Structure 1
Amino acid sequence: MTTDDKTMKRIEEAISMQHTGDLDGARHRFTEIWQEIAPNGDPFHRCVLAHYMADLQQDPQDELAWDLHALDAAASVTDDRAKQHDSSLAIRGFYPSLHLNLAADFHKLGDTAQARTHLTQAQEHLDALNDDAYGHGIRSAIQRLASQLAEEDPTTPMSNKTK
């Protein structure tokens, strides 16, 4: 089912700007849209926008804040709403990436306990990923972060430890 979702089209345009290297333009566009949709706008829009906006932050605290916005919004997204954008989407499939990003944020900030908590949550949702390039990429990133955390503190067991 495809809808004429003007807000999502604007978010996708900002994502395209980001992917082509116009980071300042993408950040500006995301900020404009966020001001229109937050805090009570469509949670799907808020989740997607915040997820991508986090990647544009230079300060790890700001990145964490945006990733928390994405996770918070995801909790209110239904599968029906996700399928309005793309019939193959299920919100459960967002969680491995959302929790991986939070684990990476906490790792950058030196909060290993929170990094491990979110990494475990990412691992608990791996079954929601498809066997495709995206799924393989997320699984690989989770594995890399698990290995980094295990090397930093080998006494703490990880459920997905590679060594």
Structure 2
Amino acid sequence: MTDDVMVAIDAGLRQHIGGDRAGAYATFTTLWASIGPDGDPLHRVALAHHMADVCDDPAEELEWDLRALAAADSLTDSRAQEYHSSLAVRGFYPSLHLNLGEDYRKLGDLAAAREQLALARVRLDAVTSGASPRAGGSATRNPRKAALGDDDYAAGIRLAVEDLAGRLA
């Protein structure tokens, strides 16, 4: 089954990748008007995540990244897997926290940036090792539950986490 909203979000993403940030921003704005803050969590997380990337204002970028995180918190694996069977919501969190860390860094809130960096690291460790995060940042290991592997995406997230750590040092 084709998800027309995800197809439209992907079209906006292709605009952005192709260099048309303004066009992507317009596409995402129109889509958000139809999805709204109470729409399907999968649509909200995907749209907000990509919308943040086309914002020129760091404060607006933060707002969209916070929307993406809130949407992920209400998204279930079952709903994500209706779109693609490989998706696990816990795999979204390293990138979401990384983006928030970068947003806070741009805005000069280094304490919040470091907090988000720490959350990104805990979530990244949990999803690449199959561990489940616990309160206090410790984790229990379960290799069958790894949400990110050793692919290019996971490597890119790991590199971006270390890059942010360097900018915050």
Structures share a fold, TM > 0.5?
yes
Which of the numbers 94, 97, 109 marks the counterpart of 1:96?
94
Q: Tell me what 1:79 maps to.
A: 77
- Superposed CA offset, 1:6-53 (max 9, x none): 111111111111111111111111000100111111011000000000
Distance 2:6 2:49 in 1: 13
Structure 2 residue ranges without an equivalent (≥5): 128-147
Q: Tell me what 2:162 maps to.
A: 143
Q: Work out whether 1:25 is the aligned partner of 2:44.
A: no
- Superposed CA offset, 1:64-96 (max 9, x none): 011001001110110111111111110100000
Distance 2:2 2:102 in 1: 35
Q: Work out whether 1:57 is the aligned partner of 2:55.
A: yes
Q: Which amino acid aligns with 1:35?
A: A
Q: Work out whether 1:133 is the aligned partner of 2:152.
A: yes
Q: Tell me what 1:107 maps to.
A: 105
Structure 1 residue ranges without an equivalent (≥5): 151-163
Q: Which amino acid aligns with 1:36?
A: S
Distance 2:104 2:25 in 1: 22
Q: Tell me what 1:156 maps to.
A: none
| TM-score, scaled relative to structure 1 | 0.88
| Identity among equivalent pairs (%) | 52
Distance 1:24 1:79 in 2: 32
Q: Tell me what 1:14 maps to.
A: 12
Distance 1:65 1:34 in 2: 13
RMSD: 0.8
Q: Which amino acid aligns with 1:113?
A: A
The count of aligned residue pairs is: 148
Q: Which amino acid aligns with 1:141?
A: A
Distance 1:86 1:68 in 2: 24
> Structure 1 segments of 4 or more deviating over 6 A?
none
Distance 2:68 2:8 in 1: 17
Q: Tell me what 2:140 maps to.
A: none
